Amino acid sequence: MTNSHSASPFGRTLCAMVTPFTATGALDLDGARRLAARLVADGCDGLVVNGTTGESPTTTDTEKAQLITAVRETVGEGVPVVAGVGTADTRHTVELALAAEKAGADGVLVVSPYYSRPPQDALEAHFLDVAEASGLPVMLYDIPGRTGTRIEPETMIRLAAHPRIVAVKDCSYDFLGTQKVLARTGPTETGLAYYAGCDEHILALYAVGAAGCVSTVANVVPGRVAAILDAFDAGDTAGAARLQLRATPLIEAMTAAGLPGTVTAKALLTALGLPAGPVRAPLRPAGREAADGLMAVYEEFTAA
């Protein structure tokens, strides 16, 4: 893959794919292949594996590489596969980036180091070290609610100057800060591509120049997520708004109702007979009441 900035370097509608496990908790590569194929067939033009929704903190380095290879082989060369490689350790992150490149990834998703809360100069050095380590383009992952550290706008703008730092998965919940970066690193400048990492922001961020989304909800309704961006691209902004608002109850149920998106996505996929399997501890599966509630919201949404 050419390491250059572009409007949508990894596609437009990306799914933050769950990592399917067997009933005993082992990596389910066959399930991963089937799920990846379905997601692409139903509307995703890129996949993010080994991310937060993919339970990266509880999968081994070997499992991560195996998953990348399986998904790569399944979707073919035309569908971007971005691999989460971020850890709290720069050295380990570099190792995972090199392994992802070897396994066939098209890019790497690099989250801010968590727990240690490095200051901005150390954070910048971390991302630059990872970007220099492999030939893969980098999507920065800004999610301070989980990491404890914001990638500040000025830091983001400096990082955008690196030729392999091409994109951002934005879960900052700082829309003003995001717009400040877009205004200075958009397609007319260095071309830093923003992807909405929170499903409730898909249309809002797209409307001010983002490249697309990395969606958790797309695990269960990939076509509905893609349709929001399709409508906007077709000039039907009112229709895009209706589709985004119609998805709000499902977005809330899956990402903002008290359970992690991994848990809710796997509960729905399991109920739909699709590959998912259990979550790994310390996560716990959705209880019966929560699972039934999720399914009720899903059925109401898809019936509309």
173 counts as catalytic: no
Q: How confident is the model at residue 187, as a pLDDT?
A: 53
Buried b (16+ CB within 10 A) or exposed e, 209-248: bbbbbbbbbbbbbbebbbbbbbbbeeeeeeebbebbeebe
Per-residue pLDDT, 1? 36
- Bridge partner residues of 213 (DSSP): 13, 196
Domain 13-236, classified CATH 3.20.20.70, yes or no:
yes
- Residue 271 is predicted with a pLDDT of 97
Taking CA atoms, 127 is separated from 2, 158, 182, 284, in Å, by 19, 11, 19, 32
**pLDDT for position 2:** 36
Active-site annotation holder among 64, 114, 169, 298: 169
Low-confidence ranges of the chain (pLDDT < 70): 1-6, 186-190
pLDDT of residue 200: 98
What pLDDT is attached to residue 190?
A: 55
Q: Which of 64, 141, 266, 298 is catalytic?
A: 141
For residues 85 and 110, the answer to whether their CB atoms sit within 8 Å is yes
Report pLDDT for 47: 98
CA 126, CA 119: separation in Å to the nearest integer?
11
Q: For 119-178, what is the HEC assignment?
A: CHHHHHHHHHHHHHHCCCCEEEEECHHHHCCCCCHHHHHHHCCCCCEEEEEECCCCHHHH
User: Is 141 a residue of the active site?
Assistant: yes
Sort residue 187 into left (φ over 0), alpha (ψ -120 to 50) or beta. Answer: alpha
